Amino acid sequence: MRGLRGAIAKVGLAAMGAMISIQAHAADLMGQPTPGAIGLQPAASPMKVHAIWFHDLLLLPIITAITLFVLVLLLIIVFRFNAKANPVPAKFAHNTALEIAWTGIPVLILLVIAVFSFQFLFDYHRMPKPDLTVKVVGYQWYWGYTYPDQKIDEYTSNVLSADAAKAAGKPYLLGTDNPLVVPVHKNVRVLVTGADVIHDWAMPAFGLKTDAVPGRTNETWFNADRVGTFYGECDQLCGVNHDQMPIEIKVVSQADFNAWVASKAPAGAPASSAPAATSAAAAAAPAASPPPVAKTATPAPQKVAMNAAPILR
């Protein structure tokens, strides 16, 4: 009966903890930190959904069970095997079955974690066909973004001052003057490198954390599942202004992204269609007879001097 009551109490506590976790998760802000929140940021991409499942449903129960088990062992040792309660200590020193158990069980636990973690890592590196490529360069202390497919040269993204962030309605030390703009529901390939020291391009809502190493290009990807603005920041200690390297990603519709790309095009870019139209009109026009070519006298061949300067070898 006592064991049944204990089991019911444990189930009740677990259900209460799950309800509290769900309520806290529902109140979290999307794409930015939530004051007083517990747990990971809400997911805005399939990879972050996988990361939350891996953390909340696999790692967290395992580490909670291990922690409670060790706590119970410590309490047993403290209250049952102290000098007062157990004045005559045991004489045995080894227990083969126990040693096999406490070696084999952790190995099995690590194997279970490894199976799911390897699958998670493979999903990160098994990039689908990208719809868009963005090059990210970390500088001291700001970010540079380039869109090679759209022929958009690098532009810089800097942190906003407190007054500018307030005026723009963005969180201070997270809002930027020029965010990274990507379309929703598209596979975005991100090429990350560093220009001076090691930085880190991290976006919690998408489950991204990629080092920006000078002289090396790392690759990651994401697919945003909703329109909105998402914030991250550099996760490497890259110098005195490390806190001045926020990351802002603005996810928009495809039409809005096309309009943004058009606004970033150089001033003379729209005129590039004029030569094509002119060429098409010229091709459609009837061919005119070429003007007669005037005959010119063929110049007489010149004699080559044999006493030229010797060739130096």
Tokens representing 237 are 């200690």
Q: Are 239 and 197 in contact (CB under 8 A)?
A: yes
Comparing C-alpha atoms, which of 133, 119, 153, 154 is closest to residue 219? 133
Residuewise pLDDT in 10s, the chain (313 residues): 444 445 444 544 454 454 444 444 557 899 999 998 888 999 999 999 999 999 999 999 999 999 999 999 999 989 988 888 888 887 778 889 989 999 999 999 999 999 999 988 888 888 899 999 999 999 999 999 999 999 999 999 999 999 999 999 999 999 999 999 999 999 999 999 999 999 999 999 999 999 999 999 999 999 999 999 999 999 999 999 999 999 999 999 999 999 999 998 776 554 333 333 333 333 344 444 444 444 444 444 444 333 433 433 3
- Looking at the fold, whether 64 and 103 belong to one and the same domain comes out as yes
Specify whether 100 is located in the same domain as 166. Answer: no
| Cα 67 to chain centroid, rounded | 31
Q: What pLDDT, on the 0 to 100 scale, is given for residue 267?
A: 63
Range of the domain at 208: 132-264
Q: Clarify whether residues 118 and 24 are in a common domain.
A: yes
Instruction: Tell me if 272 is assigned to some domain.
Output: no
CB count, 10 Å around CB of 151? Answer: 12
User: Could you tell me if 143 and 109 lie in one domain?
Assistant: no
Q: What is the pTM of this model?
A: 0.71
The CATH number of the domain where 36 resides is what?
1.10.287.90
**153: Cβ–Cβ under 8 A, 6 or more apart, which residues?**
146
CA proximity to 155, closest of 270, 266, 230 = 266
In a domain? residue 296: no
Q: Do residues 65 and 148 both lie within one domain?
A: no
CA distances 115 to 53, 101, 165, Å, are 14, 21, 44
Question: Which CATH number characterizes residue 183's domain?
Answer: 2.60.40.420
- Contact between residue 191 and residue 219 where contact means Cβ atoms under 8 Å apart: yes
Residue 236: per-residue pLDDT: 93
In a domain, 69, yes or no: yes
Helix and strand tally (H, E) in the chain? 7, 10
The answer to whether residue 2 sits within a structural domain is: no
CA dist 307 and 185 (Å) reads: 77
The count of domains in the chain is 2
Q: Which pLDDT belongs to residue 268?
A: 55
**Residues 117 and 19 placed together within one structural domain of the fold:** yes
For residues 195 and 221, membership in a common domain is answered with: yes
pLDDT for position 82: 86
CA 43/CA 228 separation, integer angstroms: 12
